[in-house]
Structure 1
Amino acid sequence: MTRTVGRPVVRGLVTSLQAYQFAGGIGSLGVAMLYYGVNPVVAALGFVNIILYGWTYTSLKRKHIINTWIGALVGAIPPLMGWAASSSLAMPGAWCLAGLLYAWQFPHFNALSHNIADQYKRAGYVMTAAENPKLNARVSLRYSLLMFPICFGLSYFEVTDWMFQFDSAIFNGWLSLLAYQFWKQQTINYAKGTIPTEEGLRLASIQAKKLFWASVWQLPAILILSMLHKKGQWDGILYHLGLKEASNK
């Protein structure tokens, strides 16, 4: 594939065995550091993520489109690791944060894979963008919309204040609108009994690119806003500036 042709194993600079040995070594070292330097829960999550990505997800890429759903779990686990480093995973806010990262990966990756679907197919990878383009766009829209209730959950479970709902909705709405446009075009392209036209495919490609780049900016924006709207954040800042008295609670 064009996007991976320059990687060391592909170029023959490193053999597959050497890559495996190196990955096994640094993976084991990383899990050990997490176990002794943080706590067993974080280490366990790190170990699970290595297995999910290095074995389950990678193996499934040549077998079934469900690989993308498994791969999204890999992106959702790091926030849980960060949370577990200092708090309990029994807190619902941890799962809202993980859910945010999980949902985001579908509009991001599905849009990315749309324009290189043929490359995936030639390489022997079973991706939704190549196997079912209409489903690929529908999943992008579905998970873009899911970000609204997830952000609501962050406020409801007191990770963020309620103002977060207003400005996060701007970026979630932007992403959802572009995902809708992508889905709408693919619905037209792959309507029952319809063969996509060259113009229709061109428009879908444009919509996919717009959605991809929107996702690149949307996630950092949401995460920055969640930090700015962290519950009690401004109370603490105003207190330290001497502009507000300490709460008795």
Structure 2
Amino acid sequence: MARTAGTVILYYGVNETVAALGAINIVLYSWIYTSLKRKTILNTWVGALVGAIPPLMGWASSSSLTDPGAWCLAALLFAWQFPHFNALSHNIAQQYKNAGYVMTAAEYPKLNARVALRYSILMFPICFGLCYFNVTDWGFMLDSSIANFWMTLMAFRFWKQQHINHKPNYRPSEVQITAANIQAKKLFWVSVWQLPAVLILAMLHKRGQWEKIFGYFLHHDKESAKKVLIETI
């Protein structure tokens, strides 16, 4: 009932595109993602789609989804969820397994770390895409790279430790297992700070924003100068 009401409100209160995206997300999360958690590691990719749709809904509320910038924002949220969740799930992998959930961290630890690193690296071209498609200015490319490098470095260290621990016929020591757990925690907390940092930087670097602000003040300064000159004459 609540799901239907929410979709109807979005349809009449915003537009049909936002309502359709909301309905798709309900189906993805409630039915597909939830059922897949006990069947396959692909549930994480479906869950990442659920997290990527809200930016599209926000964009569709005022602009067309034919704009590539909308998909860059969705890709940003999609990619970020892998280093974030894969690091989180590493230290509770056994709990997931005991509960009957099929998670990459429990089934394929090396893949879990590799995917976290892969999507951390993907954050770089996604942020460059926001510049290219005129969502942000080109200064965002530099600023966002600092935050992305921070997370990628932590993801690389996590991957490296997992790669060592899970070599064929190799039994990691307690120290090495603890080291991997620590790297996972570091990556998780860096991801918590990285996403807000990138989004705030994107707002600060919004295309044309500073030109409008400075243009406003310059315009008013000219008007003030004209007024003073007229009064003097």
TM-score normalised by L of structure 2: 0.93
- How far the C-alpha of 1:26 sits from its partner, in A, is 1.6
- How far the C-alpha of 1:240 sits from its partner, in A, is 2.1
SS of structure 2 residue aligned to 1:242: helix
The aligned runs of 1:36-185 (5 Å cut-off) are 36-185=12-161
- How far the C-alpha of 1:243 sits from its partner, in A, is 6.1
- How far the C-alpha of 1:244 sits from its partner, in A, is 8.8
**Matched AA of 2:10:** L
Deviation readout 1:53-85 (Å, 9 max, x if unpaired):
011000000000000000000000000000000
- Which residue pairs with 1:200 in the alignment? 176
**Matched AA of 1:195:** R
Q: Which runs of 5+ in 2 are unaligned?
A: 222-233
Contact 1:235 1:244 in 2 (8 A): no
Going by fraction, where is helix more abundant, 1 or 2? 2
- How far the C-alpha of 1:196 sits from its partner, in A, is 2.4
Count of residue correspondences: 221
C-alpha distance in 2 between matches for 1:109 and 1:227? 25
- How far the C-alpha of 1:192 sits from its partner, in A, is 1.8
Contact 1:108 1:211 in 2 (8 A): yes
- How far the C-alpha of 1:195 sits from its partner, in A, is 1.9
Q: What is the root-mean-square deviation of aligned Cα atoms in Å?
A: 1.1
- How far the C-alpha of 1:130 sits from its partner, in A, is 0.2
Alpha-carbon spacing, 1:243–1:165, altered in 2? closer, same or farther (3 Å): farther
Alpha-carbon spacing, 1:192–1:30, altered in 2? closer, same or farther (3 Å): same
Q: Which runs of 5+ in 1 are unaligned?
A: 1-24
C-alpha distance in 2 between matches for 1:38 and 1:115? 41
- How far the C-alpha of 1:220 sits from its partner, in A, is 0.3
C-alpha distance in 1 between matches for 2:220 and 2:22? 41
1:235 aligns with 2:189: no
